[in-house]
């Protein structure tokens, strides 16, 4: 009973902020609504017993990705008024397309559910906690995709740094290779200036 209430609460609080993300005027509000949607989606996942994925959603999606969005939105001085032109013009057509897509998805699920019975069967709590079972699976059967996922993150990190890195032109760093390559005969020159003459550099 309370699970039903919790489900409808989480579901409503996921879908309503998702709509607000798109229709908000202020982009900072959009990101904040997105964070609300993520939190409640994590709650939905908690209800089926996937607590590791739920916490991952909170830590990674909210803690990293949404904060990144917030940084970028606040850092770039964007004129959002001009970007909203065409929004209300496209809105009716957009809603029609969205409804058609939703209808198609519902039809697909309905046609699939007419087959072998899946609905209503809620698997019981396993003997192991969710995270233990996930760890066992991840490090044995899915080890290769796991390592590849790590590589993907590394590539993304390197790519983001390479893309946005800027060199400062007013800075004179040490160049160690140039310093090491210096030879004594280039560094010091002995001259014999006459009396009263200067030295030409």
Residues between 164 and 193 that touch other proteins (CB under 8 A): 164
67 lies in the binding site for other proteins (CB under 8 A): no
Taking the CA atoms of 110, 115, 120 and 124 in sequence, report the sign of the dihedral they define: negative
Tell which one of 25, 36, 105, 196 touches other proteins (CB under 8 A): 105
CB within 8 Å of 13: residues ≥ 6 apart = 36, 37, 40, 43
Please give the size of the binding site for other proteins, defined by CB under 8 A: 82
Residue number with CB closer to other proteins (119 or 192): 119
Q: Which stretch binds other proteins (CB under 8 A): 78-86, 169-177, 178-186, 190-198?
A: 78-86
15 lies in the binding site for other proteins (CB under 8 A): yes
Task: Say if residues 11 and 62 touch (Cβ distance below 8 Å).
Answer: no
Q: How far apart are the first and last CA of the chain?
A: 91
Nearest to 9 by CA among 174, 17, 49, 55: 17
CB within 8 Å of 36: residues ≥ 6 apart = 13, 17
18 lies in the binding site for other proteins (CB under 8 A): yes
Q: Which stretch binds other proteins (CB under 8 A): 14-22, 171-179, 183-191, 192-200?
A: 14-22
98 lies in the binding site for other proteins (CB under 8 A): yes
Name residue, tokens 């590394």: 154
Q: How far is the CB of 81 from other proteins (least distance, A)?
A: 11
Task: Say if residues 14 and 54 touch (Cβ distance below 8 Å).
Answer: no
Residue number with CB closer to other proteins (114 or 180): 114
**Distance between CA atoms of residues 55 and 66, nearest Å:** 15
Instruction: Restricting to residues 131-150, name those near other proteins by CB under 8 A.
Output: 133-134, 137-138, 142, 145, 149
Q: How far is the CB of 57 from other proteins (least distance, A)?
A: 7
Tell which one of 9, 26, 83, 147 touches other proteins (CB under 8 A): 83
64 lies in the binding site for other proteins (CB under 8 A): yes
Tell which one of 82, 174, 191, 192 touches other proteins (CB under 8 A): 82
CB within 8 Å of 55: residues ≥ 6 apart = 42
**Distance between CA atoms of residues 132 and 144, nearest Å:** 19
């Amino acid at each position: 009973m309370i699970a039903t209430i919790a489900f409808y609460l989480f579901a409503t609080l996921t879908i309503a902020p998702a709509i607000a993300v798109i229709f908000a005027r202020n982009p900072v509000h959009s990101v904040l609504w997105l964070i609300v949607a993520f939190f409640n989606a994590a709650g939905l996942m908690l209800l089926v017993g996937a607590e590791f994925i739920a916490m991952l959603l909170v830590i990674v999606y909210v803690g990293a990705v949404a904060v990144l969005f917030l940084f970028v939105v606040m850092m770039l001085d964007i004129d959002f008024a001009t970007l909203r032109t065409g929004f209300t013009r496209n809105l009716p057509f957009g809603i029609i397309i969205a409804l058609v897509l939703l209808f198609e998805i519902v039809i697909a699920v309905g046609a699939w559910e007419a087959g072998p019975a899946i609905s209503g069967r809620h698997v019981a709590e396993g003997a192991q906690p969710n995270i233990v079972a996930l760890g066992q699976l991840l490090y044995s059967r899915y080890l290769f995709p796991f390592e590849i996922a790590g590589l993907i993150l590394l590539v993304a990190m390197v790519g983001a740094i390479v893309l946005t890195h800027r060199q400062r032109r007013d800075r004179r760093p040490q160049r160690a290779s140039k310093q090491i390559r210096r030879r004594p005969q280039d560094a010091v020159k002995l001259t014999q200036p006459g009396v009263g003459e200067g030295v030409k550099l």
